Structure 1
Amino acid sequence: MTSTITVSPPRGPSDEPAYRVLLIEDDEADAILVEELLHDTGMPFSLTVRANLADARAALNTQQIDCILLDLHLPDVSGTAAVTAVRDLAPHNAVIVLTGLAEDHAGAAAVAAGAQDYLVKGKVDAELLRRSLRYAVYRSRTEHASIQAQAVRLRAEENARLESALLPPPMLGTSAVSVTSRYLPGSPMALLGGDFLDVVEGDDGLLHAVVGDVSGHGRDAAALGVLLRVAWRSLILGGHRGEDLLNLMERVLVAERDNTSLFATCTLLTLDQRNRTATLHLAGHHEPLLTTAEGTREVAAAHGIALGIVPGLRQWQHTVVPLPEKGALTIYTDGLIEGHNGSAGGRLEVEGLLALIDTTPTNDPAAQVDRIIEQAQALNAGRHTDDLAVLHLAWGQRHPC
């Protein structure tokens, strides 16, 4: 028995929406009775009838349903097992159980198993069905909204904990370098991934920074990102530098990853303000941007292999970049440039990012970084979802350009 009926009586002053009802019932006479009762309620509705759970599953996969009317005795499932099966298939839909005259206890058990209400066949009139249907849908939607709100709160709390570990406050001493850092998930409801960054001033007065990106998303990538960030800070404070530092970070990654396919890219930076140089190590990461009085450009630097791709290869080189008296370096993860470039088509890429920087002049580094991220996300319009991390280091003036 398979049918779909749509009825739209004239709407009253409340402009009540049509209720989309799925009836799972193998008795044709009972199904006809339910249809007649729905007509008598005066509510606009659409009714889909399926005779067993298997056919109902197919309907739920292809249709939007507000409420499921469920007979407890189906050919392929019965009793509270039927309620459990339907709740598994449609956890956010209202469920009203239909029981026989002699099984009131079954209705109570069904509600305990997750149904919003139960009705006894032969004791249902149009008014009772109308009130039960409205209440069940309202309760289901309220419960779903509460669950979503709880999920948002828990996700925000988890993101806050991860952000404090992935984006710690910089350890600065006497350095006059202005540090601006930002970290955003790929979408509002997303959990932070494996991007990480950190800044530490050493006892030698040099400023050391790292920006990295663990492949993949979710808790595993985030946990590995936290480990690499903490390892980097500890190793920097322990005096490790350059290729030796990258080798030790790779050993940590290999030892801690659960999945051998996980790897990490990163940029290491040592800024020597006294000698006006920046030493770069790129491990599978793209080049930073250098801002001078003439504008912003990508820094040419030697590339090395990402951490964890070929453990032990140690294929990394350093590049020393001369710095102007006043300027800024921007290091970022690919989530900033892999989004779509609006109506221009394609990805934003470095060229698009440079164009955004040229159109957002400001004497406030934090405001500039925020504006660039805002513009990049607006162009992307949610089509590409990836975490992004940005580190901006400016020197030589109170409010560098």
Structure 2
Amino acid sequence: MTTTMVSSAGAATGGPSYRILLIEDDPGDALLVEELLHDTGLRFELTTCATLADASSTLSSGVTDCILLDLHLPDASGTSAVTAVRALAPHTAVIVLTGLSEAQAGTDAMAAGAQDYLVKGKVEAELLHRTVRYAVYRSETERAGIEAQAARLRAEENARLERGLLPPPILDASSVRVTTRYLPGTAMALLGGDFLDVVEGDDGLLHAVVGDVSGHGPDAAALGVCLRIAWRSLVLGGHRGEDLLGLMERILVAERVSPSQFATCTLLTLDQNVSTATLHLAGHHEPLLTTTEGTREPTAAHGIALGIVPGLRRWPATVTPLPPGGALTLYTDGLTEGHNGNSGRRLGVDGLLALIEALPPADPAAHIDQLITQTHTLNAGRHTDDLAVLRLDWGTHRHGHPAAEQRLG
């Protein structure tokens, strides 16, 4: 394998530089191609390999803009050589070099995936210049089209997941204001494994859930959608408390892709008639209770996460008295697991409460947005987890219309 760095004298200053790989086992033909490239005026870096095996190593170790491929190599020939090179570099321009007697070979090579072909002995510098430039352009356009299609498919998939993970609350007569926020922790993802929902039941009570499926990515998101839909269906069917969590666990065990996958969640039932909130914690932390005296974490009994020990069914209930007006904020640990500035420590609940104490008064939506911004600023772009926040406000909105604000951050 040989590499030649070239900036042709005729090349326009600041023009594109092409990384070209020539796969040619005949040293004489290889030298002729290099001389022609010098005459094109292109700025280029040329690497020459005599076999497909050597080319494979070169392609795996760096970026190549254009491949000039001889169809008669010691370890590959004909359209099979084109197919092999395209498999190694699917988004790189391939120009085939054919012999004078191979009239059909170039056409067959293009049908197999090459961008163009040149006939040895009939190639001039101007033709090579134009062929390389156009082949690279067509390859880049093809790659951009593929990436755009992949982005569209990803957006469509995330839209379906969004509808599953972030449904509109079902509020009939309730005057409780519902505000939600959702932020995935995985790069290039719109959604993760966290889920939330709010439903007003036929009993007049407001039921809410926030959950977190272990792991990240599409498997976690899919299981989160499944559990969220199951929760809503079961609540509307009249299931409550331990019975509800037991059924959700059975569904999780049946649907999870790995025996190690589990989920944590908080169930909350808000009864404004008697001013209480009933909590069931399945491996999840307590919500935050905001009153005129400030924000605190109410004490609640803890139960085991869903799927850890299937069938154990240990999810005790905690009934928390509520003031006439206030707010409950349910959230996943993406809000507290980030770093607390440069201290090297996690923010934690205490740090979160300190942030809330320092925030200026604001409406629920602005308050949550400010809180998320503050936690992300402290974390300074380090480890992030999926984040779901669900806030329920009552009392001050009692005489207004029910309100719901939901956002994918």
* Superposed pair shares fold, TM > 0.5: yes
Cα offset for 1:132? 1.0
Quick one: which amino acid aligns to residue 320 of structure 2? V
Map 1:226-241 onto structure 2 (within 5 A). 226-241=225-240
Cα offset for 1:180? 0.9
Quick one: which amino acid aligns to residue 54 of structure 2? D
Match of 1:111 in 2: 110
Structure 1 residues 8 and 156: alpha-carbon distance in aligned structure 2, compared to 1, 3 A threshold = same
Contact 2:21 2:49 in 1 (8 A): yes
Structure 1 residues 41 and 205: alpha-carbon distance in aligned structure 2, compared to 1, 3 A threshold = same
Alpha-carbon distance in 1 for matches of 2:87, 2:229: 41
Alpha-carbon distance in 2 for matches of 1:11, 1:385: 51
Map 1:46-85 onto structure 2 (within 5 A). 46-85=45-84
Alpha-carbon distance in 1 for matches of 2:177, 2:228: 20
Pairwise CA RMSD of aligned residues? 2.4
Structure with greater contact order relative to length (CA < 8 Å, sep ≥ 6) = 2
- Give 3-state SS (helix, strand or coil) of 1:104's partner: coil
- Give 3-state SS (helix, strand or coil) of 2:76's partner: coil
Equivalent pairs counted in the alignment come to: 399
- Give 3-state SS (helix, strand or coil) of 2:157's partner: helix
1:215-237, CA deviations, whole angstroms, 9 ceiling, x for partnerless residues? 23333333322221121112112
Cα offset for 1:341? 4.9
Match of 1:6 in 2: 5
Alpha-carbon distance in 2 for matches of 1:141, 1:150: 14
1:78-106, CA deviations, whole angstroms, 9 ceiling, x for partnerless residues? 22222222222222222212222222322
Match of 1:338 in 2: 337
Q: Structure 1 residues 111-120 or 378-387, which shifts more?
A: 378-387
Cα offset for 1:160? 1.2
Map 1:184-203 onto structure 2 (within 5 A). 184-187=183-186, 189-190=188-189, 192-203=191-202
Match of 1:291 in 2: 290
Structure 1 residues 261 and 174: alpha-carbon distance in aligned structure 2, compared to 1, 3 A threshold = same
Match of 1:123 in 2: 122
Alpha-carbon distance in 2 for matches of 1:217, 1:11: 52
1:58-92, CA deviations, whole angstroms, 9 ceiling, x for partnerless residues? 22222122112222222222222222222222222
The answer to whether 1:248 aligns with 2:247 is yes
Alpha-carbon distance in 2 for matches of 1:11, 1:303: 75
Structure 1 residues 296 and 90: alpha-carbon distance in aligned structure 2, compared to 1, 3 A threshold = farther
Alpha-carbon distance in 2 for matches of 1:191, 1:252: 25
Contact 2:242 2:316 in 1 (8 A): yes
Structure 1 residues 12 and 365: alpha-carbon distance in aligned structure 2, compared to 1, 3 A threshold = farther
- Give 3-state SS (helix, strand or coil) of 2:349's partner: helix
1:333-377, CA deviations, whole angstroms, 9 ceiling, x for partnerless residues? 233333455555454443444444345434321222233334444
Quick one: which amino acid aligns to residue 140 of structure 2? R
Q: Structure 1 residues 348-357 or 286-295, which shifts more?
A: 348-357
Structure 1 residues 65 and 377: alpha-carbon distance in aligned structure 2, compared to 1, 3 A threshold = farther
Alpha-carbon distance in 1 for matches of 2:77, 2:338: 50
Gaps of 5+ in 2: 404-409
Alpha-carbon distance in 1 for matches of 2:372, 2:107: 54
Structure 1 residues 306 and 19: alpha-carbon distance in aligned structure 2, compared to 1, 3 A threshold = same
Q: Taking structure 1 as the reference length, what is the TM-score of the superposition?
A: 0.91
